[in-house]
Homo-oligomer: A and B are copies of this chain.
Amino acid sequence: MSKMDEVDLVQANILASGCNKKSVRIVNGFGKMMGSKDMVNVDFEKDSNMDYLLRRDQEEKEKYAKNKHISEQPWTLNNWHKHLNWLNMILVVFLPSIGWYFALSGRAPLTWRTFWFSVLYYAVGGASITAGYHRLWSHRSYTARWPLRLFYAFFGAASVEGSIKWWGHSHRIHHRFTDTVRDPYDARRGLWFSHMGWMLLKPNPKYRARADIEDLADDWIVRFQHRHYILIMLLSAFILPTLVCGYFFNDYLGGFIYGGLIRVFCIQQATFCINSLAHYLGDQPFDDRRTPRDNWITALVTFGEGYHNFHHEFPTDYRNAIKWYQYDPTKIIIYMSSLCGLAYDLKKFSHNAIQQALVQQQQKKLDRQRAKLNWGPQLTDLPVWDKQDFLKEMEKRKGLVVISGIVHDVSGYISEHPGGETLLQAALGKDATKAFNGGVYRHSNAAHNVLATMRVAVVKEGEDAAIKFAARRGEIYAKTAKAE
Contact = CB atoms under 8 A, between A and B. Distances in A.
Contact of A4 (B13, B390, B449): B390
Interface in A344-400: 347, 349-350, 352-360, 362-363, 366, 369-370, 372-375, 386-387, 390
Contacts of A358: 369
Interface string A1-43: 1111111110111011000000000000000000000000000
A481 B483 CA distance: 12
Given A359-B373, A441-B176, A6 B314 contact: no
Contacts of A453: 352
A15 B422 contact: yes
A316 interface: yes
A481 B481 CA distance: 10
- How many chain A residues sit at the interface, stated as a range, is 35 or more
B369 A366 contact: no
Nearest to A6: B431
A120 to B, nearest CB: 34
A373 B453 CA distance: 35
Nearest to A436: B7
A384 to B, nearest CB: 11
Contacts of A449: 352-353, 356-357, 360
Contacts of A350: 450
A434 B7 contact: yes
Contacts of A363: 366, 474
Nearest to A449: B356
Interface in A291-313: 312-313
Given A353-B446, A362-B366, A449-B353, A439 B12 contact: yes
Given A353-B449, A440-B16, A435 B7 contact: yes
A316 B373 contact: no
A445 B445 CA distance: 34
A25 to B, nearest CB: 15
Interface string A445-481: 1100110010000011100000000000110001011
A429 interface: yes
Contacts of A450: 350, 353
B366 A352 contact: no
Interface string A256-297: 000000000000000000000000000000110110000000
B423 A287 contact: no
Contacts of A15: 420, 422-423, 426
A386 B1 contact: yes
Contacts of A372: 355
A369 B387 contact: no
Contact of A444 (B313, B418, B419, B474): B313
Interface in A106-164: 139
A379 to B, nearest CB: 15
Nearest to A477: B478
A15 to B, nearest CB: 5
B16 A445 contact: no
A289 B357 CA distance: 27
Given A15-B423, A363-B366, A431-B4, A440 B9 contact: yes
Interface string A302-339: 00000000001111100000000000000000000000
A289 B15 CA distance: 56
Contacts of A390: 4
Contacts of A243: none
B423 A1 contact: no
A81 interface: no
Contacts of A440: 7, 9, 12-13, 16
12 contacts: A2-B387, A4-B430, A6-B430, A6-B433, A9-B439, A13-B440, A15-B422, A347-B416, A356-B373, A356-B375, A359-B373, A360-B445
Given A6-B432, A15-B423, A356-B375, 17 more contacts: A1-B386, A1-B387, A3-B387, A3-B431, A5-B429, A5-B431, A12-B423, A12-B440, A13-B440, A16-B420, A139-B418, A212-B420, A212-B422, A316-B418, A355-B369, A356-B373, A366-B366
Interface of A: 1-9, 11-13, 15-16, 139, 176, 212, 286-287, 289-290, 312-316, 347, 349-350, 352-360, 362-363, 366, 369-370, 372-375, 386-387, 390, 402, 416, 418-420, 422-423, 426-427, 429-435, 439-441, 444-446, 449-450, 453, 459-461, 473-474, 478, 480-481
* 9 A-B pairs closest in CB distance: A478-B478, A4-B431, A316-B418, A7-B435, A356-B449, A9-B439, A7-B432, A287-B445, A6-B431
